[in-house]
Structure 1
Amino acid sequence: MSRPLPGDTRPGDLVIGGYTPDTDGSGPGLTVVRTAPDGVLRALARTPASGPSFVVEHPGLPLLYAVLERPDGGVAVFADEADGPRPLAEHPSGGSYPCHLAVDPAAEWLAVANYGDGTVAAYRLDGDGMPQPGPLLFPNEGGGPDPDRQEGPHAHEAVFGPDGVLHVTDLGTDEIRRFLPGMVPHPRGPVRLAPGSGPRHFVHHRDLWYVTGELDGMVRVYDAGWREVGGAAASTSGGHNQPSHIAPSPDGRYLYVGNRGPDTVSVFEPDGARLELVAEVPAGGRWPRHFGVTPDRLYVAAQRSGEVTAMELKDGVPQPGERALEVGTPSCVLVRSRAAV
């Protein structure tokens, strides 16, 4: 159960997920924190869970969903309460090592990306936000040119597009898999991306798609029909880079990209298909796995240094990160909507 920490009991601003001792990490499960004007984070509550490496919220109800990234795969549902997340239910993820999940805007489906075997699972949600038994399962097959990382399919991120279509990156097969509303496989099949790119996270921004390549270190740009129209190296710091998360700035002017290896965050100004590198800034910790964007800061999950760092935004450009909270093996920073807070 949740363990409230001393202090006020108003709901926190961020929820941090990560790996736990039973999933090769050192984190506590879920950590709810309050942000301060100077960027420092204060833990309000911790809730044990088994490897909650990615967390999302229901768009209208006080619920949180988390993948449980372990061999047998799980999905947990929590009541989002003032004294911390309260476990409500746990379901199979439909595959192994789930690493991402998403709720569609209408709150009818919960989609899960299972990295281990590449299976995409979709749970229909009840009106109370609870998953119905018996998810739809969509396995995949194939691989890519990298024999170590692309020996088979590896679903990585699930994103519902502006048209209600679910898009899922598959790092192992260099694809964007697509599902029409109602979780119907797209009649034209998946989108084939650059061989060996290893697509990881992606974002739809100003009618274009921007995809990070974990294996080739690129950010590639695609038009509405998923034709590649541009791209740039995610980092210019030198050395091997495995780009992680990508997200727009609060005003939409910039795109931020996390770089694991250089341990930086790159800032790009998109101009149609062109990406101009504006800055590349130290993240303040090792292995920036994910970050949450607020109006005045990026909060970065520095997985390998056991901390969340804060990067102040000045005119939209993050400044060098500083430790804001010590927490074991963080992998996700959820910025809660104002409605939930």
Structure 2
Amino acid sequence: MKQLRIGGYGPGIVTIAAGISPGLTEVAAPSFLAAHPSLPVLYAAGELDSGLLTAFDARDGLTPLDERPSEGSLPCHVAVDPTGSLLAAANYGDGTAIIQRLDGRGAFDGDPIVLRHKGSGPVAGRQEGPHAHQAVFHDGLLHVSDLGTDEIRRYRYDGTPVEPIVLHPGTGPRHFAFAGSRLYVAGELDGAVTLIDGEWRTVAPASRHEGENSLSHLQLEGDLVYVGNRGPNTISVLRAADLSLVAEVPSGGDWPRHFAIDGDRLYVANQRSNAVTVFALRDGVPEPTGEAYEVESPACVLIT
């Protein structure tokens, strides 16, 4: 098994590796983690009102390397571009996103480009203002989902904004993924997955269960789309071609906030039941293995 790095709202980052006792690196509310593509460096978003981004040297445990403010409140996502020269972070609290240069060690270099935003949506109590939720580098642009304004905001790497991708009012875009010209978006507020390919759009419910469903993470693997359903507490598997439902299985806990896939294994962070549950993938469908790792309030699983 590769190393599992688990972040969340507990006392810090938990590292799990075969043959080694779980390790804890204390850091405040590391709700999302990202790895440098070529250096042994790990990044954590500290989801606090006065948000912090922390870089760790991961060669021997996790040793703090650098730390910077996130320039906003409640940073909930961090990502590194494929070249390893830029980092982006999304702040849920006020919708601010940043682009930060990285140096040859993977540390923060110079001042960030701060991307502030305005706007709102129709869902009372959730869309009173911008809420940046995920940052993704794709096709020469930084894409930022904004749950509060129903947009995928887009920026050039110098911070220049370009035309956003506008979603149906009340979607509440959370996590998203690209496959060629196709864009798949998980709507936290409407409980549906939206597929966009040019002018063609398909919207499909992520769960067959009735009642509220706050979608969490979305991930593409081959010709399948995986999405977490908070409320039904399930993981759904959809066909990437048309969003038809392949399977929906219990997540093994309460409030599946995030998951990660590694080969034929799926690891689900069930935030409210303090466990990361392990599934085997059989023809793409998750099957319980009976394995689980006890972790306080897990919110992110990173495989390194």
TM bucket normalised to smaller: over 0.9
The structure with the largest strand share of the pair is: 2
Equivalent in 72, 92, 97 of residue 69 of structure 2: 92
* Aligned counterpart, 1:200: 174
Query: 1:259-301, CA deviations, whole angstroms, 9 ceiling, x for partnerless residues?
Result: 0000000001122xx1110100001010000001011111000
Paired residue for 1:6?
none
Partner of 1:329: 297
2:141 maps to which of 154, 165, 177: 165
AA aligned to 1:57 is A
Instruction: Map 1:191-230 to 2 at 5 A.
Output: 191-223=165-197, 225=198, 227-230=199-202
- Kindly indicate whether the alpha-carbon contact (under 8 Å) linking 2:258 and 2:299 is maintained by their aligned counterparts in 1: yes
8 A Cα contact 2:143 2:152, kept in partner: yes
2:51 aligned with 1:79? no
- When residues 43 and 232 of structure 1 are mapped into structure 2, their CA distance, relative to the original with a 3 A threshold, is farther
Residues 228 and 218 of structure 1: CA distance in aligned 2, closer, same or farther (over 3 Å)? farther
The reply on whether 1:29 has 2:12 as its aligned counterpart is yes
Please give the residue correspondences for 1:132-211 in structure 2 after superposition, counting only pairs within 5 Å: 132-161=109-138, 163-186=139-162, 189-211=163-185
Structure 1 range deviating more: 147-156 or 101-110:
101-110
CA gap of 1:231–1:203, structure 2 versus 1, over 3 A, is same
In 1: Cα distance, 2:174 partner to 2:290 partner: 26
1:235 and 1:321, CA in 2 relative to 1: closer, same or farther beyond 3 A? farther
Distance 2:100 2:277 in 1: 34
| Pick aligned residue for 1:234 from 198, 206, 218 | 206
Which residue among 8, 12, 15 is the counterpart of 1:18? 8
Residue 195 of structure 2 aligns with an amino acid whose one-letter code is V
Using the TM superposition, give the Cα deviation of residue 231 of structure 1 relative to its aligned residue in structure 2, in angstroms.
2.0
Q: Is the 8 A contact 2:4 2:17 kept in 1?
A: yes
Q: 2:105 aligns with which of 116, 128, 139?
A: 128
CA drift of 1:35 comes to 5.2
- Are 1:294 and 2:262 an aligned pair? yes
Q: Distance in 1 between matches of 2:256 and 2:152?
A: 24
1:236 counterpart SS class? coil
Note the C-alpha offset of 1:323. 4.7
Contact 2:65 2:107 in 1 (8 A): no
Contact 1:220-1:228 within 8 A present in 2 as well: no
Cα 1:207–1:35 change in 2 (3 A) is farther
Q: Work out the CA distance in 1 between the residues paired with 2:223 and 2:152.
A: 25
2:238 maps to: 268
Q: Which residue of 2 aligns with 1:8?
A: none
Question: 1:104 touches 1:164 (CA, 8 Å); kept in 2?
Answer: no
CA distance in 2, matches of 1:293, 1:105: 19
Q: Contact conserved, 1:282 with 1:321, CA < 8 A, in 2?
A: no
CA contact (8 A) 1:307 1:323 kept: no
Contact 1:299 1:311 in 2 (8 A): yes
Q: CA deviation at 1:210?
A: 0.4
Equivalent position amino acid for 1:270 in 2: A
Question: How many residues of Structure 1 are paired with residues of Structure 2 in the alignment?
Answer: 304
- What CA deviation, in whole Å up to 9, does each residue of 1:68-110 have, x standing for no partner? 000001100100123x211122110010000001111111211
What TM-score results when the alignment is normalised by the length of structure 1? 0.86
CA distance in 1, matches of 2:254, 2:79: 26
Structure 2 CA distance for aligned equivalents of residues 43 and 292 of structure 1: 21
Alpha-carbon distance, 1:321 to partner: 6.5
Unaligned runs of 5+ in 2: none
Give runs of ≥4 in structure 1 deviating > 2 Å: 181-184, 320-323
* C-alpha distance in 1 between matches for 2:58 and 2:203: 39
Q: Deviation of residue 164 (structure 1)?
A: 2.0
Distance (Å, rounded) in 2 between the aligned partners of 1:264 and 1:320:
12
